[in-house]
Amino acid sequence: MPTNVTVEYAQAHEKYINARTKDEKIAALREMISTIPKHKGTSHVQADLKAKLSKLLSQTEKKGTRSSFKIQKEGDLQVCLLGLTQTGKSTLLKALTGSKVEISNRSYTTVKPEMGVAEWEGVKMQFVEIPSTFIPQWMSIAASSDCIVLVIDSTRSIEEQKESLIGLIERFRIRTPFVYIDSRNPTGIFEKVWSSVKLIHIYTKEPGKQPEKRALVLKRGSNVKDAASHVHKDFLRFFKFAKVWGKSVKHVGEKVGLEHKLADKDILEIHA
């Protein structure tokens, strides 16, 4: 071990020695690389650590091409929290969903994907924290999710974090839409996520009653027919007409037919 190492490096080294899985080894190596004092005396150790890391990564990548890891989707859409280690992902996950995830000031605390569900305007959003080891199995979750929240710690270099995360998205050829969120001020996170996905949420109501609290989530461009078939097949079979309140109509409670295209936040009353 190099001389004059920091406590953080010594701890990371300890973790590496005790690591039982490849994932734990990768996390410990990344931590060693980031905490090792950067000077000439340690350059050979730095190179050695990087070589060990890339060897481990290439092994997991080979495995990752065959087996992809998926988290059971829950709710209306799946949103991943992706950020460098210690940027407040777990803190955000807990604040949004109440999930009992471990939060600590150790690097790479989260070692497997953690999740929770939040409800916003009657829409259920499943949030998944991606461990910052970024191994292919974890990245495949981000690739198959509906939106990626890039979690930024505004007390560190914002540009560097953005660069690393964009690099990651490009390296894994991920096409999922993404938004940036400051973990220390996540106001508007739901609205930002929502406007990045191609979905609408509408509220159905029965005549003479208040609209349902739980929204119906549909693809952008959906019409009354799509909505009706989601609610109950009898609505479609015995459909007479519908009334709509919201942006897709000119008049409140306007009478429309099955082909009428709905807009986000419309209220829909089906008469059958």
Ligand X SMILES: Nc1nc2c(ncn2[C@@H]2O[C@H](COP(=O)(O)OP(=O)(O)OP(=O)(O)O)[C@@H](O)[C@H]2O)c(=O)[nH]1
Considering only 35, 107, 110, 176, the residue that binds Mg ion (CB under 5 A) is 110
In sequence order, which residues have a C-beta less than 8 Å from that of residue 231 and are 6 or more positions away?
204, 216, 270
User: In the range 188-207, which residues lie near ligand X by CB under 6 A?
Assistant: none
**Which parts of 1-92 are beta strand (E)?**
77-82
Cβ distance to Mg ion smaller for residue 89 or 201: 89
User: In the range 237-256, which residues lie near Mg ion by CB under 5 A?
Assistant: none
Minimum Å gap between C-beta 41 and ligand X is 29
183 binds, among Mg ion, ligand X, none (CB under 5 to 8 A by kind): ligand X
Provide φ and ψ at 219, rounded to 5°: -65, 145
Q: Is 110 in the site for ligand X (CB under 6 A)?
A: yes
Q: What secondary structure letter does DSSP report for 223? A: B
Minimum Å gap between C-beta 153 and ligand X is 4
Considering only 35, 78, 90, 248, the residue that binds Mg ion (CB under 5 A) is 90
Considering only 132, 145, 161, 204, the residue that binds ligand X (CB under 6 A) is 132
Q: Is 31 in the site for ligand X (CB under 6 A)?
A: no
| Beta carbons within 10 angstroms of residue 159's beta carbon | 9
Q: What secondary structure letter does DSSP report for 76? A: S
Interface segment toward ligand X; rule CB under 6 A; list 102-110, 170-178, 232-240, 264-272 = 102-110
Q: Is 103 in the site for ligand X (CB under 6 A)?
A: yes
Q: Is 65 in the site for ligand X (CB under 6 A)?
A: no
Give the separation between CA 115 and CA 158, rounded to whole angstroms. 25
Minimum Å gap between C-beta 165 and ligand X is 12
> Helix, strand or coil for residue 46?
helix
Distances in Å between the Cα of 272 and the Cα atoms of 135, 170, 216, 227, 253 are 52, 50, 19, 14, 16
Q: Is 85 in the site for Mg ion (CB under 5 A)?
A: no
Here the tokens at position 103 are 């939060």
Considering only 9, 16, 108, 127, the residue that binds ligand X (CB under 6 A) is 108
Contact 268, 202 (CB under 8 A): yes
The letter for the amino acid at 6 is T
Considering only 88, 113, 116, 136, the residue that binds ligand X (CB under 6 A) is 88
> Helix, strand or coil for residue 206?
coil
Query: What's the chain's Rg over C-alpha atoms?
Result: 24
Total residues interacting with Mg ion, rule: CB under 5 A: 4
The strands making up 147-152's β-sheet, listed across from edge to edge, are 114-120, 123-129, 77-82, 147-152, 178-182
Minimum Å gap between C-beta 11 and ligand X is 13
Contact 53, 122 (CB under 8 A): no
Total residues interacting with ligand X, rule: CB under 6 A: 19
Minimum Å gap between C-beta 230 and ligand X is 36
Chain contacts with ligand X (rule: CB under 6 A) = 83, 85-91, 103-105, 107-110, 132, 153, 183-184
Residues of this chain that bind Mg ion (CB under 5 A): 89-90, 109-110
